């Protein structure tokens, strides 16, 4: 745990479940996961991850058009 003044934050570790069991892994770049579950990507991986996430949003059909300005 990390203690910041009166705030106590549970340090999250990134674990990968494999056939050998749970193996703890470590980030080898500047990417990280925040304690509240958000990911921050380093400059090397940011563009690739943005494209990957946007592709998954499209693939999973997670959005709808609410105001199409071109249809007017």
In the numeric block, which tokens belong to residue 27?
Answer: 């980030």
The pTM of the whole model exceeds 0.85:
no
Lowest mean pLDDT segment, chosen from 12-16, 23-27, 60-64, 66-70: 12-16
Q: Quote the pLDDT of residue 66.
A: 87
Q: Above 70 in pLDDT, residue 51?
A: yes
Extents of the domains making up the chain: 2-64
DSSP structural state of residue 37: S
If pLDDT is split at 50, 70 and 90, which confidence band does 55 have?
Answer: very high
């Amino acid at each position: 745990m990390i203690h910041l003044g009166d705030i106590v934050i549970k340090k999250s570790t990134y674990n990968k479940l494999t056939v050998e069991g749970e193996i703890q892994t470590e980030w080898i770049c500047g990417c990280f996961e925040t304690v509240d579950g958000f990911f921050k990507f380093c400059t090397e991986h940011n563009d690739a991850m943005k494209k990957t996430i946007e592709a998954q949003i499209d693939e999973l059909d997670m959005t709808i058009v609410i105001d199409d300005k071109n249809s007017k």
